[in-house]
Amino acid sequence: MPGIQNKVIAITGASSGIGEATALALAERGAKLAFAARRVERLEALAGRIAASGGEAAYTRADVRRREDLSGLVELACKRFGRLDVLIANAGIGPVSRLDELRVGDWEDMIDVNIKGVLYGIAAALPVFRKQGFGHFVHIASTAALKIVPTMAVYSATKAAVRVIAEGLRQEAGDKLRVTIVTPGFVSTDFVESVTDPRVKAGLAASRDAFAIPPDAIARAIAFALGEPPEVDVNELVIRPTAQG
């Protein structure tokens, strides 16, 4: 895609799932990548795959709950490649459960990763985008923000917050910055592994195995949004399994 060739793109949560698939898809389309996650050994392997295919990638360990780690990712992209064109805020967790379970620690983790992690990314990249005069934020939400079901109240709230923050950012961005919300449905990732309630975990695993779509379906949607010309802002894409209710 001409619109992606040589773009410098930073991705959080790149060690697996949607983040990993997106890194591979964008590298294949000629992007230069800086990505981060907590599992450095997986990032190293991903960078090796990209390099072996002729791409360029840098990586760093980052926990999006730490503002300085997001600043470090943006700095890595700028130092290695001279600028930053896109920040994809993909990192997220979903240890869902019924509110009666009072898994307050899980609630706090979702707020810290899913909401604060997005805000810390904005804080790191927005000044760089303003100084450059261009830039593109991509925020990964969820269809859980559109349809609320039992066990997902807190997770849904965090993903609804992502959509609200991203839309507010879009309205404040002006005519030089773009903001895209990507809203996946059920995707075959290790999302289920973060669930601490055994019954809920088993139910989600069964649904995943029955109809979840592969992560590269989301990666292709992200590539579409990034490939549009600068005067076109793809504001939101919803991608879900055909079988998802």
Residue 245 belongs to some domain of the structure: no
- pTM listed for this prediction: 0.95
pLDDT tens for each residue of the chain, 245 residues long: 569 999 999 999 999 999 999 999 999 999 999 999 999 999 999 999 999 999 999 999 999 999 999 999 999 999 999 999 999 999 999 999 999 999 999 999 999 999 999 999 999 999 999 999 999 999 999 999 999 999 999 999 999 999 999 999 999 999 999 999 999 999 998 888 888 888 888 988 998 889 999 999 999 999 999 999 999 999 999 999 999 97
Residue 244 belongs to some domain of the structure: no
Pairing of strands 32-37, 236-239: unpaired
Residue 3 belongs to some domain of the structure: no
The predicted pLDDT at position 190 comes to 84
Annotated active-site residue 120? The verdict is no
Contact predicate 62/70, CB 8 Å: yes
The predicted pLDDT at position 1 comes to 54
Active-site hit among 120, 155, 186, 191: 155
Residue 59 belongs to some domain of the structure: yes
The predicted pLDDT at position 10 comes to 98
- CATH assignment at residue 127: 3.40.50.720
Number of domains composing the chain: 1
The predicted pLDDT at position 56 comes to 97
Give the structural domain span for 36. Answer: 8-239
Residue 232 belongs to some domain of the structure: yes
Contact predicate 95/194, CB 8 Å: yes
Residue in 163, 168, 161, 177 with CA at minimum distance from that of residue 125: 177
The predicted pLDDT at position 2 comes to 62
**Rounded CA separation 49/44 (Å):** 9
Residue 2 belongs to some domain of the structure: no
Residue 221 belongs to some domain of the structure: yes
Residue 1 belongs to some domain of the structure: no
182: three-class secondary structure by DSSP: strand
